[in-house]
Amino acid sequence: MAHTVTIDPVTRIEGHAKITIQLDDQGIVRDARIHITQFRGFEKLCEGRRFSEMPALTARICGICPVSHLIASGKACDALLAVRIPETAEKLRRIFNLAQLVQSHALSFFHLSSPDFLLGMDADPAVRNIVGVIQANPQMARDGIRLRQIGQQMIEWLAGKRIHPSWIVPGGVAQPLSAEKREQMLASIPEGIDIAERAIEWFKTTLRQFSEEIQTFANFPSLFMGLVTETGALEHYDGVLRVVDSAGNVIADKLDPNDYQDYIGEAVEPWTYLKFPYYKPIGYPEGVYRVGPLARLNLVDRCGTPRADEAWSEFRTLERGAVLSSFHYHYARLVEILYGLERIQQLLNEPDILDTRVQAVAGPNRSEGIGVAEAPRGTLIHHYRIDKDGLITWANLIIATGHNNLAMNRGILQAAKHFVKGEQIQEGMLNRVEAVIRCFDPCLSCSTHAVGQMPLHIQLLSPTGEVLDEVRR
C-alpha cells in the first residue's frame, strides 16, 4: 500500500517547513519533497515605499541574517543613486558582512547541527540539542556560543545593535568606526581563530563516523554558483559570478551580477511557497545548482588568507573535482569562519579604516538597481525599480535558500531512499532526512524557533488518508 510520511515541522532549521516522503506499495521511497509552508510577500509589500527604507524593510525578512539583506539592499540602493561609495564605507560593509558570516555559520554548526555530530544521528531527541551538547562536551558548546558572540558583538560595535541595525544606508554606512571599537574587535579575533581551528581539527576526526551520511546527503553532481573576486579568490561582498560543474571545471566566469536574469530562471511549483531558481543555459529542472559555503569553496582558486588557504587546500582533497556531498557544507562553514576572521583582521588593519567619510550623498538617479552579495547561505540578489520620486514600483528578491531549493529536494529524496525503509517510522531515519536539510542551513523566515522545542510531527498515511502510524516529539 502506498503511504506518505510527513515530517512537520522540520526542526533545528530557521523557519517553517515540512517534508513529505511518498512510499510505494512495497514501502520503498518513491518521492520526497520539502515544502516551505510560510508565505511572506515582502516583494509586494515594499511597493510604494521609498527606496531608502528598503535596507531596513528587507532586513526584517530575517532575524538571523538581517545583515545579509542590509548589504544586498544597500548595494541595490547604491545602484539607484548611481554612486561609488567611499572606500572606507565599502571596507566597513565588508567587515559587517563577514562578522555576520561568522555568527551565522557558528549558529548553524554548533547550535543546530553539532548535536547530530556529537551525540549521533540516532540519539534520543530529548538530548539531541544544544543542551545535550553542553552536557556531553561543554568545551565545544562554550566554543560555539563564544564564536557566535564574537560575530554578533562585532555587528553591534559597528552598527549599534545586533539584530536589525539601521547602519547600512544608500551610499555607504551611517557612522564611521571608532578607534576604540577597532581595538576591541581586533582583540577578539585571535580567540575566534583558535576556536575555528579547534573545530576544524575535531570535525575532521569525526568524518569517519559519517561515511554513510556523506555518501547519501545530497551527494550528486550539480553546478555550483557564487561570487568570486576578479582573480578567483573567495568573495562575499562584491566581485563577479562564477559557475563550476561537478568536475570542478569553470563553465562560466566573470558574469556580471547585474545580468543575473540572463542566466538564472525561476520556476514555480504549486506545492511550496519557495520558487525554484535554475541555471538558464541548461534549463529546468536539469540546471540545478548549489550556492553557499560548499559552492563557494568549490568555485574559488584560493581563499585569500593564509590559514584559511591551508584549510581550503585540505578541504578540496576530500573529493576529486568539486566536493559534491552536501554533508561537507558543515566543513565548508568552518573554513569560512576561519577566513572571515582572518579577513576582518586584515581589513581592520587597513590605514583608512577609521576615515570618517563613509557616505556618498545623492538622490535617486537611476530607475533600476541590483545588489548582489554572498550571504552565509549563498548568493543573495536584491533588484528594485523606482519611480521618479524614488518610490519602489517593483522588487525581486532571490534569497540564498531559494537557489538551493532544487538541490534540497533532490537531496532529501536521495537520503530518504537510502535510510527510510518499510512502514515503521524510526526516529533516527527521519532525523537523517531532516539533517540533509540542515546541511544547507536553510533560512526560511525571519526567525528561528527555540532549539529542540518545536514538536516534530510525523504521520504515516494510507492512500485514503488513514493514519497508520504516528510519532510526536
Partner 1 sequence: MNQPVRVKTLKIDDRDVSGREDETILEIARQNGIFIPTLCNLQGLTPIGACRLCLVEIKGVSRLLPACVTRVEEGMEVYTQSERLQKYRRMVLELLFSERNHICSVCVVNGHCELQSMAQVLGMTHVSVPYRFPRLPVDASHERFVVDHNRCILCTRCVRVCDEIEGAHTWDVMGRGIDSRVITDLNQAWGESETCTSCGKCVNVCPTGALFEKGKPVSERLKKRQFLPYLTMMREERR
- Interface with partner 1 (CB under 8 A): 48-50, 52-53, 55-57, 60, 164, 166-169, 174, 361, 363, 389-391
How far apart (Å, rounded) are the C-alpha atoms in residues 92 and 359? 11
Alpha helices in 207-322 (DSSP H): 211-216, 260-263, 293-299, 306-316
Question: Which residue, 162 or 432, has its beta carbon nearer to partner 1?
Answer: 162
**Percent of the chain as helix, strand, coil, to the nearest 5:** 45, 20, 35
Take residue 382 and report the three cell numbers written for it.
Answer: 536584491
Q: How far is the CB of 258 from partner 1 (least distance, A)?
A: 24
Question: Which residue, 63 or 257, has its beta carbon nearer to partner 1?
Answer: 63
Question: Which residue, 9 or 364, has its beta carbon nearer to partner 1?
Answer: 364
How far apart (Å, rounded) are the C-alpha atoms in residues 422 and 108? 31
Q: How far is the CB of 391 from partner 1 (least distance, A)?
A: 6
Question: Which residue, 337 or 358, has its beta carbon nearer to partner 1?
Answer: 358
Classified as helix, coil or strand, 33 is: strand
Q: How far is the CB of 288 from partner 1 (least distance, A)?
A: 35
How far apart (Å, rounded) are the C-alpha atoms in residues 417 and 23? 9
Question: Which residue, 81 or 341, has its beta carbon nearer to partner 1?
Answer: 81
How far apart (Å, rounded) are the C-alpha atoms in residues 255 and 241? 5
Take residue 145 and report the three cell numbers written for it.
Answer: 556560543
Q: Which residue has the cell 563557494?
A: 296
Using CB atoms within 10 A of its CB, is residue 179 exposed (0-12), middle (13-18) or buried (19+)? exposed
Question: Which residue, 371 or 390, has its beta carbon nearer to partner 1?
Answer: 390
Using CB atoms within 10 A of its CB, is residue 455 exposed (0-12), middle (13-18) or buried (19+)? exposed
Q: Which residue has the cell 555518501?
A: 215
Q: How far is the CB of 103 from partner 1 (least distance, A)?
A: 21
Q: How far is the CB of 180 from partner 1 (least distance, A)?
A: 21
Q: Write the DSSP assignment of 362-380 as a string of letters.
A: -----SEEEEEEEETTEEE
Question: Which residue, 172 or 402, has its beta carbon nearer to partner 1?
Answer: 172
Question: Which residue, 61 or 398, has its beta carbon nearer to partner 1?
Answer: 61
Q: How far is the CB of 92 from partner 1 (least distance, A)?
A: 14
Q: How far is the CB of 167 from partner 1 (least distance, A)?
A: 7
Take residue 140 and report the three cell numbers written for it.
Answer: 565545544
Question: Which residue, 22 or 175, has its beta carbon nearer to partner 1?
Answer: 175
Q: How far is the CB of 300 from partner 1 (least distance, A)?
A: 33
Q: How far is the CB of 11 from partner 1 (least distance, A)?
A: 27
How far apart (Å, rounded) are the C-alpha atoms in residues 473 and 358? 51
Angle CA 411–259–168, to nearest 5: 85
Question: Which residue, 69 or 432, has its beta carbon nearer to partner 1?
Answer: 69
Amino acid at 304: G
Q: Write the DSSP assignment of 137-166 as a string of letters.
A: -HHHHHHHHHHHHHHHHHHHHHHSSSSS--
Q: How far is the CB of 390 from partner 1 (least distance, A)?
A: 5
